[in-house]
Amino acid sequence: MFNVTVLRLKDLTKLTIGIMLVSLIILFFSKEMKIGKSKESIENTGNLVNNEELDNSNSIIRKIEEGVQYFIGKNNVEAINQTIPVISNINEEYGKIAKEDDIKDEVKENDYKILKAMLGIQISSINGIENINKNEEENKVANNNETANGENGEEKDKDKENNSENNSEALEPGTKTEIVTKDPIKDGSNTQLGNVKIKNETNYELTEDLYTSEIQIENKNIVLFHTHSCESYTSSEKYPYTPTGNYRTTDLNFTVTRVGTELETYLKKYNYNVVHSTDYHDYPAYNGSYTRSLKTVENILKTTPSDIIIDVHRDAIGSRSDYAPTVKIGDEEAAQLMFVIGTDAGGLWHPNWRENLKFAIKVQSKAEEMYPGLFKTMMLTTSRYNQHTGKYASIIEVGATGNTLEQCLTSMKYLAKVMNEVIK
């Protein structure tokens, strides 16, 4: 590095004036040299120069020197003498620094672009969190309104009835029913107990007593929840929405959560106490959904013991986004339903899976009597799916990605009617 005296703006002004004065001094001395030569020439010829005039000239020079000292100062004169020889080196050094600054600016610009992109990626997650907070606030308002409108939340239940699909009752059993699924997928059933078809993916043998044995429902509270809260359906004219994923949305008004609300409404018409969790379990992260939903169910059961626990899902056929299992009941189209029952075949503790299976068989068997085709083939799997939490716990998948929300809402009044026949 260079040892350079730093000059302020005021000093630079003085420096400029000083340089001008130095130039004048140099010019003056040039003249004085000429005068000196003239003097020598005169003396040589016997013509003497007046000493007073010489003294005056020296006096002028001293005054000029004092003037220079006044304008730029002695220290600054020395600074000039030190600085001038290295000005070119300084310029070169500043050039390097400027180049480095340009590179740093470019790096900062790239960092800014990367940060901006990262913020762009996360903006949906931020919006999603805002939506969650908004939903929480709306839930708080709804709870306050419920308290204000009556101890039993009668006004809230009335609003749910008004929001139900057509606010209509299920058609009576015996109504003409037919499966109208376009290009249906093979059911893959390998077991049948009574009128219930089952696709058994385990090595367990399913015996007839699973169908014939009676079930004992001691606690008729019903818990509904959604491990995959954001699963949605095909957008329709009646229920249009913009997906925020592959048949997924954080707007729970268009997902299986809304379907669960419809089932809650109809079950309450039959005077059942229903606890319906509308918590997100698959958002903002999908992985760990079952761990989060397990905590939700366990917390509910601490205050509301229940035999019947239903995790409401939507079926997903990866290769068939248009797959829409549909049953027509009278003039109404409803999405078909499917029980998924877990076991301990995967190694997880689950001693009551046979009781879960018995309940599912009872419900599906009754549905086949009342509305044939409402249910598709049941699946018995090696996974547990949190079904160890209840005596009669299950997954019910409502429709698939090709179904519309109105078809799925219609299914709920028929499911509620069938469940009432089994539980009462």
- Rounded average pLDDT over 390-395: 97
Closest CA to 68 of 36, 60, 57: 60
pLDDT at position 118, please? 45
pTM: 0.64
| Residue 390 banded pLDDT, cuts 50, 70, 90 | very high
Structure confidence by residue, pLDDT tens digits, 153-168: 444 444 444 456 556 8
Share of the chain above pLDDT 90, in %: 58
Residue written as token pair 């077991």: 191
Contacts of 273 (CB under 8 A, 6+ apart): 220, 221, 222, 304
pLDDT at position 320, please? 87
**Contact status, residue 257 vs residue 229, Cβ threshold 8 Å:** yes
Neighbours of 28 (CB within 10 A): 16
Given a cut of 90, is residue 13 above it in pLDDT? no
Phi, psi of 83 (to 5 degrees): -80, -40
CA distances from 146 to 143, 149, 264 (A): 5, 5, 16
CA distances from 89 to 1, 8, 78, 299 (A): 10, 20, 18, 75
| Residue 201 banded pLDDT, cuts 50, 70, 90 | very high
**Top-confidence residue, 74 or 359:** 359
- Rounded average pLDDT over 10-34: 62
- Rounded average pLDDT over 368-377: 98
Q: Among the listed ranges 145-159, 204-218, 289-303, which one has the minimum average pLDDT value?
A: 145-159
pLDDT at position 316, please? 84
Given a cut of 80, is residue 279 above it in pLDDT? yes
Q: Among the listed ranges 110-124, 262-276, 306-320, which one has the minimum average pLDDT value?
A: 110-124
pLDDT at position 93, please? 42
- For domain 153-423, the question of CATH label 3.40.630.40 is answered with yes
CA distances from 211 to 182, 194, 207, 218 (A): 31, 7, 8, 20
Round to whole Å and give the CA distance between 243 and 379: 28
Given a cut of 50, is residue 252 above it in pLDDT? yes
- Rounded average pLDDT over 113-127: 42
pLDDT at position 232, please? 97
Given a cut of 50, is residue 199 above it in pLDDT? yes
Mean pLDDT of the chain: 77
Query: Where exactly are the structural domains of the chain?
Result: 1-123, 153-423
**Contact status, residue 225 vs residue 293, Cβ threshold 8 Å:** yes
pLDDT at position 187, please? 87
Structure confidence by residue, pLDDT tens digits, 129-147: 444 444 444 444 334 443 3
pLDDT at position 127, please? 46
Longest CA pairwise span in the chain (Å): 154
Among 96-100, 112-116, 236-240, the range with the most confident prediction by mean pLDDT is 236-240
| Residue 4 banded pLDDT, cuts 50, 70, 90 | very low
Round to whole Å and give the CA distance between 184 and 122: 39
Given a cut of 70, is residue 31 above it in pLDDT? no
pLDDT at position 15, please? 64
With 0-12 CB in 10 A as exposed, 13-18 as middle and 19+ as buried, what is 390?
A: buried
Given a cut of 50, is residue 41 above it in pLDDT? no
Given a cut of 60, is residue 29 above it in pLDDT? no
pLDDT at position 17, please? 72
* Sheet of strand 332-335: strand arrangement: 177-179, 326-329, 332-335
